[in-house]
Copies of this chain bind each other. A is one copy, B any other.
């Protein structure tokens, strides 16, 4: 048990506790000779700094809380990676939790973040109806950033993109390829704000082009490969099947592609498929997936950067940062014959 404390090191080096603390945090305040003696004592006795005690004493923390819907969907990997890299470089630790899009779990997670007195939080795609709680946090002076959403509440900060616009663009792209019977496989829009926006974008595009909305053509699923496959199978067995399918998440799209392949449909000759997210795998499907590119890494990078700035400055300016998305045309969509 290397139970060495500063107190011990101080005694062993014949200096005061304060001096040990200084040689660690402000070495320039300590005479080189003294410093060396203390340092060598620490090395010799395997001293380990107690960051938690320091945080408490200093009344500030160096950990950041991050929530993610689920690690299972690689779409969030890229932004969370960016956050981790920047945080690590700046000396912050990350506490991570999966919400599974469950309001109760998310709530509990935020609670635990707060109890650990994190310096700030980044919430990836937070569940609807927690705004009140977020307000509490803001009032408690905890910098808090929502990412992957474009929030409607002007008093909450976010870094995201326009899910409505992105989904509408992709639908329009499909329409521009002469498709009029366009299936939609989509995540749980009844639970998740940004997914709802995608549904709305799809409907808006149809409406603008005088295409009647057909509820049989939209299937709500969890954003998982299996679900995408199942949904696609269902769509392809419809009496009047779609000529194009927009899967509003690459997980769903890749599942859908696999279904098409199994059923013997050629993509894109027999049916077009479009995805959303541009996860790494999208470019490596056969054929490579046409999808919506989302600035995932950039979102994470900005979030970490802004949050850490806010922590260091002691106050969080409101951020409403909406990044651009674009359509990556690859080979899963073609003009209707």
B80 touches A71 (CB 8 A): yes
How far apart are the CA atoms of A114 and B3 in the complex, in Å? 12
Closest to A79 in B: B71
Closest to A51 in B: B115
B280 touches A258 (CB 8 A): no
Chain B nearest CB: distance from A126 CB in Å?
17
A281 CB–B CB distance under 8 Å: yes
Q: Which residue of B51, B97, B112, B288 contacts A112 across the interface (Cβ within 8 Å)?
A: B51
B225 touches A283 (CB 8 A): yes
Closest to A53 in B: B56
A50 CB–B CB distance under 8 Å: yes
A14 CB–B CB distance under 8 Å: no
A203 CB–B CB distance under 8 Å: no
How far apart are the CA atoms of A61 and B116 in the complex, in Å? 11
A238 CB–B CB distance under 8 Å: no
B85 touches A140 (CB 8 A): no
Which of A1, A93, A98, A139 has most B Cβ within 10 Å? A93
B98 touches A95 (CB 8 A): no
A237 CB–B CB distance under 8 Å: no
A254 CB–B CB distance under 8 Å: yes
A318 CB–B CB distance under 8 Å: no
How far apart are the CA atoms of A258 and B46 in the complex, in Å? 51
A98 touches B115 (CB 8 A): no
A78 CB–B CB distance under 8 Å: yes
B112 touches A93 (CB 8 A): yes
A interface residue numbers (CB < 8 A to B): 1-2, 46, 48-53, 55-56, 61, 63, 70-72, 74, 77-78, 80-81, 84-85, 88, 93-98, 105, 108-109, 112, 114-117, 136, 139-141, 224-225, 229, 254-255, 257-258, 261, 280-281, 283-288
Q: List 17 A-B contacts (CB under 8 A).
A: A46-B136, A49-B115, A52-B52, A52-B117, A63-B95, A71-B84, A85-B98, A88-B97, A88-B105, A93-B116, A94-B96, A224-B280, A255-B284, A257-B284, A258-B283, A258-B288, A286-B286
Task: Please provide the 3 A-B residue pairs with the shortest distance between their CB atoms, ordered closest to farther.
Answer: A51-B115, A258-B284, A261-B286
